[in-house]
Structure 1
Amino acid sequence: MSEQPAIVPVPERQPLDEHAAASVLAYAAEQRAKVDILASVLEDIAANGYPAPETGVLWETARDAHLARLADEQPPCRLTLLGAARALSWSSRLSPSSPN
């Protein structure tokens, strides 16, 4: 005879506002789309076998292309006068004898 696990009371949940709920749903949809793509690739491999190595892309090439896309999306980092002053102030606190 199997024992039923004890029912653990679920703590009361904190409701999300409308914007937060929409953001969570959008994130869930993005993740589901990624998983669907992965599942379709795995199904293709199961049905047809591994693709030929010469038809693939080297991981280094894929990585470099992805990093280039990310660099294009990011606005250039500009050091403001205040940021420069903070950096100089911080660096002046570090003594050459302190361990890194």
Structure 2
Amino acid sequence: MDERTNEKIYSKRVRAGKRTYFFDVKSTRGNDFYLTLTESRRLPQGDGFTYDKQKMFLYKEDFTKFLEALQETIDYVKTELMPGTDFTQFDRPDEVTDDLHTQLKWE
């Protein structure tokens, strides 16, 4: 098996309370790249904790469509469902607050 299979090239962690989101760029055997989005939730278990992880794979041919749909959905919630909400109140110092386009450098 090629050494670069599933090699992590870049990783960005976003902490959000009991959840942490990971944006990882990985490579394939054919020197192609894809993105994994992982949500990790810390759950109490006995005297300690356990982690529940959900993972999604995103391929380069879908980057633009995904980003557009995500932005459209967020804009809908902000303007149609919660127009009076100040979303900056939810910002935390340890979270990513830059524009999504800048953080992911998809464009």
What TM-score, normalized to structure 1? 0.30
* Higher normalized helix content (fraction of residues): 1
* Higher normalized strand content (fraction of residues): 2
Higher relative contact order by CA 8 Å / sep ≥ 6: 1 or 2? 2
What TM-score, normalized to structure 2? 0.28
